[in-house]
Chains A and B, each alone.
Chain A
Amino acid sequence: MYTFANGKVRLRELRLEDATVYARWFNDFEITRNLVSPRPYSVAEEEAWIRHEAESGNYTFAIEAIDGPEPLSIGNCAIHKPDWRSRQAEVGIVVGEHDYLGRGYGTAALQLLLEYGFGELNLHRIHLNVYAFNARAIRSYEKVGFTLEGTEREALFRDGQYHDVWIMSILLPEWQAIVATT
């Protein structure tokens, strides 16, 4: 049975009060330079985003680290509104708490998200975009089973220059093969 949790993290519903923490993350440029829109966000804007997600058709969850004394909200992730006919969807993830970066929490959350997308939403293909300079994220996506399928050359202007954007994806049979061997 799918439980939205493994030993490391749990996916839970977004709550309006998360906005305060999100506003802190989204004022940290080290976090936001890897995201689509790197600018400071207010608590009110984060609240509006949480309300928007409720109506968007996206499957959006907060990520909580559960291997400490208390569960701690460390990020969020989403399967964006699927293309049901072709059974594909884009995923997005952010770990906003510095101390939890590079320690496998994002990877664990993404594994839960894929298990939900393939096992419950019946998707056939899950894809994502990542900036080519975001080496830590790319390592995590590869670990989960995503493969590079294309490069959008110089598709992002950031820090005064153009960067490539990678398109990565994982298909259902690839995911099943990974699950069967673990």
Chain B
Amino acid sequence: MFSFANDRVRLRAINMADAEDYVLWYADTKISRNLSTYGPTSLEFQRNWVSGLAHGGEPIFAVEAIDRPESKHIGNVGFYHVDQRSRQAELGIMIGDRACLGKGYGPAAMRLLLEYGFGELNYHRIYLQVLSFNERAIRSYEKVGFKHEGRRRQSFYREGQYHDDVQMRILRPEWDALVSGAQNPQAAENC
């Protein structure tokens, strides 16, 4: 049974109160330079985004780290641009709590979301786009099982220059093969 949790993280619904964390995370440019919205955002802006979720119907969740005495809201993860006919969706993820970066929470949350996407939502293809300079993210997507399928050259302008945008995907049979093999457990490290 799918429980929206593993030993590291839990996926829960996004609440209006989470908007305050988003304001902090986007203001941290080390975080937001990797995202499509770059830089400070108002509480109103983030609240609008949260209230839009209630109408959009897309499966987007808050990520909580649970391998610690008290669980902590550290990011969000979800599916965007769901294409029901061809059974594909785009995965988006952000770990906004800087202290929790590079500790394996992102891959743990993505594995849960992939399990949900393939096992419950019956998707056939899950894809993502990542800015080419975000090497940590690319490594983590590779670790989860995403494969490179293309690179849109100079498609994103940021910090005074053009950057490539890397396209990655995982297909249902690829995921099934990963799941039937041994899943390597992540080393737990608190933040």
A98 to B121, CA, bound (A): 44
A162 to B84, CA, bound (A): 39
Residue A56, interface by CB 8 Å:
no
Please, which residue of chain A has its CB at the minimum distance from the CB of B123?
A85
A120 to B86, CA, bound (A): 9
A-B contact count (CB 8 A): 14
Residue B120, interface by CB 8 Å:
yes
Residues of B within 8 A of A85 (CB): 120-122
In the complex, the answer to whether B122 meets A86 with C-beta atoms within 8 Å is yes
A-side interface residues, number (CB < 8 Å): 8
Residue A5, interface by CB 8 Å:
no
The range of chain B's interface size is under 10
Interface residues of A in 61-99 (CB under 8 A from B): 82, 84-87
Interface residues of B in 120-164 (CB under 8 A from A): 120-122
B172 smallest CB distance to A (angstroms): 13
In the complex, the answer to whether A122 meets B122 with C-beta atoms within 8 Å is no
B86 smallest CB distance to A (angstroms): 7
Residue B12, interface by CB 8 Å:
no
Residues of B within 8 A of A84 (CB): 84, 122
A86 to B39, CA, bound (A): 40
Please, which residue of chain A has its CB at the minimum distance from the CB of B124?
A122
In the complex, the answer to whether B85 meets A120 with C-beta atoms within 8 Å is yes
Residue A121, interface by CB 8 Å:
yes
Residues of B within 8 A of A121 (CB): 85
In the complex, the answer to whether A87 meets B122 with C-beta atoms within 8 Å is yes
Give me the interface of A with B, judged by CB distance under 8 Å: 82, 84-87, 120-122
**What are 11 pairs between A and B in contact, CB < 8 Å?**
A82-B84, A84-B84, A84-B122, A85-B121, A85-B122, A86-B122, A87-B87, A87-B122, A121-B85, A122-B85, A122-B86
